[in-house]
Amino acid sequence: MSDKKRETEFDRMIADVKGRHSKRMNAILSTLDEEDFAVAYFKILEYATPKLQRQELSGQIEINKVTIEHVAIPIEEIENE
């Protein structure tokens, strides 16, 4: 089975979870007590909308240092020029 086919089947399954099976799942969830509901709900949520994978970024940071020199010139010298 190609990756494209597997993605298509997975997409169909997720669409069913979010669509035609959602009413049935809501009925089941409504029968659970608070703790069991929370556990089941988050498992379903994680499966239907997976978290983004954590990515480690690596590389070098280059720092460009800019030095600005401020020279105070008396206004009299500027006027005389």
Domain edges within the chain: 3-80
The pLDDT of residue 6: 64
| pLDDT of 1 higher than 60 | no
Top mean-pLDDT range of 19-28, 48-57, 59-68, 69-78: 19-28
Cβ(29)–Cβ(40) under 8 Å?
A: yes
What distance in Å separates the CA atoms of residue 28 and residue 40, rounded to the nearest whole number?
10
13 vs 48: CA distance, rounded Å: 9
Read off the tokens for 29.
């969830």
Q: Give the pLDDT mean for 24-43.
A: 89
Say which residue the tokens 């954590």 belong to.
54
Mean predicted lDDT score pLDDT of the chain: 77
Reported pTM: 0.42
pLDDT at position 53 is 58
**CA pair distance 76, 79, nearest whole angstrom:** 5
Q: What is the DSSP string of 18-30?
A: HTTTHHHHHHHHT
Residue 48's pLDDT band, with cuts at 50, 70 and 90, is low
